[in-house]
Structures are given as C-alpha cells and as structure tokens.
C-alpha cells in the first residue's frame, strides 16, 4: 500500500486552474521530487497534501486513511516551508517543541524529543539560542528538526535548499539525503532545480502548467524523456526536426536536403519527428562514424569549464549541435579549436 496517494486532485484560484487532475503515489520510504518551473502549481499541490489548502475535487490518502477533509494538525505530516517560517521570537528549542506543545505532550517527553531532534540535525547545543542569529544552513536544520520532532508519517519539503548559496546547498543535499535514508521517512520535495531533483530523488514527477507530465526514476527521466518539455527542462539537449522518409527500402529521418539519419530502434511511427540527443551522447572525430549516425561540421565555439568542454558544431542545421567532451586527456593536449572541420558521431540507440 502506498504511503501517500493523491488521486485526481484539482484546484482553482478565482478562474485559474492551478492544479489539473494530478495523481501521484509514493511508496513507504521513497524520496520523490516534484520538479517544474516557477508557477506550475507545485506549492499548491504540496499545501493540499499538508492540509493548508482544500482541493476542489479528488482525494488524498495517507496509507489507507483518507485525509482529504482532515485538518492540518491531525494529519501527522511534517512540513518545511520555502523560507523556513521559523518563529523569530522563540528560541531554537521552542521552535522545535512547538508541534509537541499543541499536542499536549508531557514536559519531560518534549525535552527528550527536542534533544533527539537537535542531535539528528547536528545542532546539539543550539537549543537556548535565538533563531535570528543563525546562518541559512542552521535555520534550515532547525526547520527540519521542527518538522521531524513529531515523528510524522510523511515529510514535505518546499524548495528546502533554495535560499542557500551553491556550495552550502550541495553540502546540505548530501546531509538531507543521508538523514532521510537514516530515518527512512517518506519524503516529497518540491523544487525547480533539476540537478537537485536528479541527485536526491528515487523518483521525479515533472510538472508543467498544473499537470504531471512524467513520473519516473531520475535515469528514465533523463535518458527517456517522454516529450519535448521534459527533455528540454531536464539537462541540455540537442533538438532536430525531421521528416520520415523511405531510403534504400528502410525508414529513415531526413533532417535536411543532404542529411538522412537512422531511426532509433524504439522510434514511434510518424510523418514528422523531433529528435533529441544529449550532448554527452555525441562524440567528435576526424573520421565519419556509421552511416546515418554521423554528420560533418565545423566547430564554431568552444566553452571550456574545467572537467568538461562544450563544443558547438555547425552541421548545416538551424542551430549548432552541442557536444560535451570530458577533459581526460593530457594537460598538454590542445583540445578542440574554433574553425576545425570535424565529424559528429553517435549511436542511433541514444537518440
């Protein structure tokens, strides 16, 4: 049985349909990210699961219990909000104890639970401090401790690391994931950061304009995006438009007057197709590769970024192809040059 089941949930504000018929199931212990651009309805969906917003239609269940009409404080769900929403006039310990106080737990139990929660987020001695002087990373941990102290069945995180700078964010990603695995809590995280979703999640639900477009493992989402939006939103991609033609008795894709490409084995049948290929699936070579999986071109721009280099190659299409190469060769190698004639080769299974 799923830890959380969202079934056909919809929500409008005024006349605007913000969440349109969303269904989602999360297995116990799973870490799921809800990934999509700003304004696509992620927070609204999270708030409905938390009980802060009532859906217009559809149902939400925790385990086998329908909680659609259950008030927030009876749901046993921990929430970390985007801006942490700590109470500024309370100490760290009082912030964390808040959820327990409203539940009329005994004072000694509260003290023990707060101590455990502080230890869990590695803020052991921070209890008596004011929240106002804490760093961003420390505030984030207090918010997490406050969400976890009631032993919730589900943890909801709304852009939990969004306010932190990059280095700290990467460090907190690792901490968050280790913590989640350690306590084994079922987690739903909202983010617009594709890299964050890819690194943290067991599963990603890609959302656009109030709908979930694809719900799969990070690898499936990245390697087999279901449509142009998902492909483009997650990572870099080369897009080519083609017409399906008969060539030497086989179906091929014509992408220009001169170039005819091999169809990938699992290609669907259509007159017109969009072809996506990731930059790291392309390679640069001085000689052509297999017929139909190779295009001649010229390097028009080179963007060096340390461990990898992105090469932009004009192959006679509207836009140059982006090819990612890893810089594993000798430090003294010159690397690709602008103006250099080159072949772009690939394996048809990767388009």
**Contact residues for ligand ADP, defined by CB under 6 A:** 13, 18, 36, 38-44
| 152 contact, one of Mg ion, ligand ADP, none, CB 5-8 Å limit per kind | none
Cβ proximity to ligand ADP, 34 vs 179, nearer residue: 34
Q: What is the closest distance, in whole angstroms, from the C-beta atom of residue 162 to Mg ion in the complex? A: 9
Q: What is the closest distance, in whole angstroms, from the C-beta atom of residue 250 to ligand ADP in the complex? A: 44
Q: Which whole-number Å values give the CA distances from 239 to 222, 229, 287, 317, in the listed order?
A: 15, 11, 23, 10
Cβ proximity to ligand ADP, 36 vs 336, nearer residue: 36
Q: What is the closest distance, in whole angstroms, from the C-beta atom of residue 167 to ligand ADP in the complex? A: 25
Which of 11, 19, 40, 43 touches Mg ion by CB under 5 A?
A: 43
The residue of the chain with the least Cβ separation from Mg ion equals 43
Q: How far apart are CA 256 and CA 318, in angstroms?
A: 10
Cβ proximity to ligand ADP, 44 vs 238, nearer residue: 44
Taken in order 68, 36, 308, 294, the sign of the CA dihedral is: positive
Cβ proximity to Mg ion, 141 vs 192, nearer residue: 192
Cβ proximity to ligand ADP, 206 vs 273, nearer residue: 206
Query: According to the binding rule CB under 5 A, does residue 44 interact with Mg ion?
Result: no
Size of the site for Mg ion (CB under 5 A): 1
Cβ proximity to Mg ion, 43 vs 294, nearer residue: 43
Contact 54, 67 (CB under 8 A): no
Choose one: 43-51, 250-258, 284-292, 329-337; the region binding Mg ion (CB under 5 A). 43-51
Cβ proximity to Mg ion, 42 vs 139, nearer residue: 42
| 127 contact, one of Mg ion, ligand ADP, none, CB 5-8 Å limit per kind | none
Choose one: 38-46, 116-124, 236-244, 270-278; the region binding Mg ion (CB under 5 A). 38-46
Cβ proximity to ligand ADP, 60 vs 253, nearer residue: 60
Q: Are strands 154-158 and 186-191 parallel, antiparallel or unpaired?
A: parallel
Q: Which residues contact 22 (CB under 8 A, 6 or more apart)?
A: 6, 8, 9, 10, 41, 45, 58, 207, 210, 211, 212
Q: What is the closest distance, in whole angstroms, from the C-beta atom of residue 190 to ligand ADP in the complex? A: 6
| 335 contact, one of ligand ADP, Mg ion, none, CB 5-8 Å limit per kind | none
Choose one: 35-43, 174-182, 254-262, 340-348; the region binding Mg ion (CB under 5 A). 35-43
Q: What is the closest distance, in whole angstroms, from the C-beta atom of residue 154 to ligand ADP in the complex? A: 18
Residue ranges binding Mg ion (CB under 5 A): 43
């Amino acid at each position: 049985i799923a830890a959380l089941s969202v079934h056909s949930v919809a929500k409008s504000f005024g006349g605007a349909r913000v969440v349109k018929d969303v269904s989602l199931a999360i297995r116990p212990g799973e870490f799921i990210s809800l990934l999509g651009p700003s304004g696509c309805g992620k927070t609204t969906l999270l708030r409905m699961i938390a009980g802060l917003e009532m859906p217009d239609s559809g149902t939400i269940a925790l385990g086998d219990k329908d909680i659609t009409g259950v008030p927030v404080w009876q749901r046993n769900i921990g929430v970390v909000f985007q801006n942490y929403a700590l109470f500024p006039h309370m100490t760290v310990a009082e912030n964390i104890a808040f959820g327990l106080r409203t539940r009329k737990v005994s004072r000694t139990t509260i003290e023990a639970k707060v101590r455990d929660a502080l230890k869990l987020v590695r803020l052991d001695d921070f209890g008596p401090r004011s929240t106002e002087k804490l760093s961003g990373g420390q505030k984030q941990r207090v918010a997490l401790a406050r969400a976890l102290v009631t032993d919730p069945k589900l943890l909801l995180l709304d852009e939990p690391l969004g306010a932190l700078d990059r280095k700290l964010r990467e460090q907190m990603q690792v901490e968050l994931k280790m913590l989640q695995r350690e306590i084994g809590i079922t987690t739903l995280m909202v983010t617009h950061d594709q890299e964050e979703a890819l690194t943290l999640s067991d599963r990603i639900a890609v959302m656009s304009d109030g709908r979930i477009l694809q719900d799969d493992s990070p690898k499936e989402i990245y390697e087999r995006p279901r449509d142009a939006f998902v492909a483009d939103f997650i990572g870099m991609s080369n897009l080519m438009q083609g017409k399906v033609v008969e060539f030497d008795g086989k179906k091929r894709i014509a992408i220009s007057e001169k170039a005819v490409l091999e169809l990938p084995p699992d290609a669907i049948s259509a007159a017109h197709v969009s072809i996506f290929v990731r930059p790291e699936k392309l390679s640069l070579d001085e000689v052509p590769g297999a017929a139909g999986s190779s295009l001649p071109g010229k390097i028009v721009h080179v963007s060096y970024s340390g461990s990898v280099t992105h090469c932009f190659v004009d192959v006679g299409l509207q836009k140059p192809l982006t090819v990612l190469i890893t810089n594993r060769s000798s430090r003294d190698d010159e690397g690709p040059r602008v103006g250099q004639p080159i072949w772009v080769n690939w394996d048809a299974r990767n388009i």
